Structure 1
Amino acid sequence: MLSQDPNEDTQWNDVLRAKGIIPQKEVEVAEDDIINMVEQAVSKQSQGKSYDEMNLDELNDNEDDIDEEEQRIFEAYRRQRMAEVMEAQKKARYGEVREISREDYVREVNQAGEGIFVVLHIYKDGVPLCKLINNYLSELAQKFPCTKFLRSVASVCIPNYPDKNLPTIFIYREGEMKKQFIGPEEFGGLKLTRDELEWMLSQAGAVETTLEECPRKQVRDVMASSMFHSAAANDSDDDDDGY
């Protein structure tokens, strides 16, 4: 049997190479290719890994660092939010306006608890402004459940309390009166809006409003602006007639 050159390009040699019986055919490499291969090998040996491998490893390391940092921030935020929710749940114990009598006064008002604001409305049935304020307070009690909202009929809570002083709102904190609004003039009469009442309570510290300024001031500014433009228009008409 004649010997056959393993480097020859024959069908038989291809079969033998596929079976692993003879080595793969050597590929001729140009001198420039050899130089590039040597330079890459030297660079890889000096750096410990190839440039692509190094970038890939750094990217994986950065991703691990980012993932760990994000996880740490998320856990810290979650614990903080849980603590805030639990604290809010402890404080948000009200949410409605409760009716009290004179016998309840000390317990419900003076002994409300540490840091608790109490809004007490002294009212009388049949007084339109008292009814309006009671409606507003019911809405504000739901909006500010950390504040204790109470109401009591004047004749029940404070005997001989003058009708001219109604409506009256007392604001307490830790047994100390912080603010009082007495009489219809304090509230602006039946023109009082819920936002105006909320602003009044916020100025006493009883609620934390998101209103940026007194709504009543905005109404005054609009009225003043309207009056100014009306006066300016009248002056203009007078000038035209004179001309």
Structure 2
Amino acid sequence: MATLEDRILGEKTQYYCSSSEDEEEEDARQGAIRGQNEPEPDADYSGSATHTGPKGVLEDWRRYKQLENENRKEQEKEKLLLAKKLAATCRTSRDDDREKETEEQQLLELEAELEDEFLHRYRLQRMEEMQRQLQNKPMFGRVIELRREEFLDAIDRERPQVTVIIHIYEEGVPGCDAVNGCMQCLSVEYPRVKFCAIKSSETPVSTKFTQQGLPAILVYKQGTLIGNFVKVSNHLGHDFFAGDLENFLQEHGILPRKDEEVSSIIRDSSQRDEEEDSDLELD
């Protein structure tokens, strides 16, 4: 017959056992229940071995090598790009100095080329100017025989850049024929110099001058007397050649030397340019 304790604890006293045994049985029963209800954990497929068997292992190995090769190629590309970048940016001071020297040399060559071109153009321009001046300068090429009324006009009405050489002579005076013959030759060699001849009887000179001063050579430029050579035969003798008279006139600065004729034109042109520049500054 069930006691009050049995009623409180439960009627099935035959299933009641000690606390330790009950706990073990309860744990075993709960574990069995969880084993039935909980699903089995999935297999770990996080690695590359997703296949089983020899074929699966071989396929995984090939895939692994493919990825390894791709990674290697990508790394090689990055290394190549990095090397190019370093080669472009990493420069030594020696490279900078070499490049600077090269640039300076190229600049000097360019300046020399421009200077040569400028000088070439300048020479051509000056030659053209000199040719124009020579063309504008009157040509004579002969000895002009003057009369009394032509004497002053031959001097005063001539262009300022023309040198006028006048030989005063008289027939029968020693040395006069030699001067006339020499002037005929020099007038051809110096066609831009005005050679003239006049008898002393056509000029207002005295008889004494005719006897003691002839042959005489007078030189004018811009209407001004720049040379007065009396009794030329005392310097050259009674018989001389054109070269002797030419040297005599060149020594006294009357005739330009062959290589100085162009230089005189350049000096005259430069002087004219300076005068024009000064006039512009004054304006």
TM-score, length of structure 1 as denominator length = 0.55
- The aligned runs of 1:136-175 (5 Å cut-off) are 136-158=182-204, 161=207, 162-175=210-223
Pair 1:199 & 2:243 matched? no
Equivalent position of 1:131 in the other structure: 177
Distance 1:39 1:134 in 2: 93
Q: Taking structure 1 as reference, are residues 167 and 82 closer, same or farther at Cα in structure 2, changes over 3 Å only?
A: same
CA contact (8 A) 1:110 1:172 kept: no
Distance 2:185 2:89 in 1: 76
Equivalent position of 1:177 in the other structure: 225
The structure that has the greater radius of gyration is 2
Deviates more, 1:164-173 or 1:123-132: 123-132
Q: Taking structure 1 as reference, are residues 133 and 40 closer, same or farther at Cα in structure 2, changes over 3 Å only?
A: farther
Equivalent position of 2:151 in the other structure: 105
Q: Does the residue aligned with 1:208 lie in a helix, a strand or coil?
A: coil
Distance 2:239 2:83 in 1: 89
Equivalent position of 1:78 in the other structure: 124
- The aligned runs of 1:27-38 (5 Å cut-off) are none
Query: CA RMSD, aligned part only?
Result: 3.9
CA positional deviation for 1:104: 0.8
Q: Taking structure 1 as reference, are residues 77 and 136 closer, same or farther at Cα in structure 2, changes over 3 Å only?
A: same
Equivalent position of 2:87 in the other structure: 43
Q: Taking structure 1 as reference, are residues 43 and 146 closer, same or farther at Cα in structure 2, changes over 3 Å only?
A: farther
Cα deviation digits, residues 148-204 of structure 1 (max 9, x gap): 211123333457653443322111222232222223543432243433322332344
CA contact (8 A) 1:147 1:206 kept: no
CA positional deviation for 1:107: 0.8
CA contact (8 A) 2:227 2:254 kept: no
Cα deviation digits, residues 67-89 of structure 1 (max 9, x gap): 44432221121111111222233
Distance 2:134 2:84 in 1: 64
Distance 1:43 1:69 in 2: 38
Distance 1:39 1:192 in 2: 92
CA contact (8 A) 1:123 1:153 kept: yes
Question: 5+ unaligned residues in a row in structure 1: which ranges?
Answer: 1-33, 212-243
Q: Taking structure 1 as reference, are residues 131 and 41 closer, same or farther at Cα in structure 2, changes over 3 Å only?
A: farther
Amino acid at match of 2:216: T
Distance 2:139 2:115 in 1: 37
Distance 2:249 2:157 in 1: 20
Distance 1:172 1:158 in 2: 18
CA positional deviation for 1:140: 1.9
Distance 2:196 2:212 in 1: 21
Task: Calculate percent identity across the aligned residue pairs.
Answer: 20
CA positional deviation for 1:118: 1.3
Q: Does the residue aligned with 1:190 lie in a helix, a strand or coil?
A: coil
- The aligned runs of 1:60-71 (5 Å cut-off) are 66-71=112-117
Q: Does the residue aligned with 2:118 lie in a helix, a strand or coil?
A: helix
Pair 1:189 & 2:189 matched? no
Amino acid at match of 2:134: A
Distance 1:107 1:136 in 2: 24
CA positional deviation for 1:103: 1.3
Amino acid at match of 1:152: I
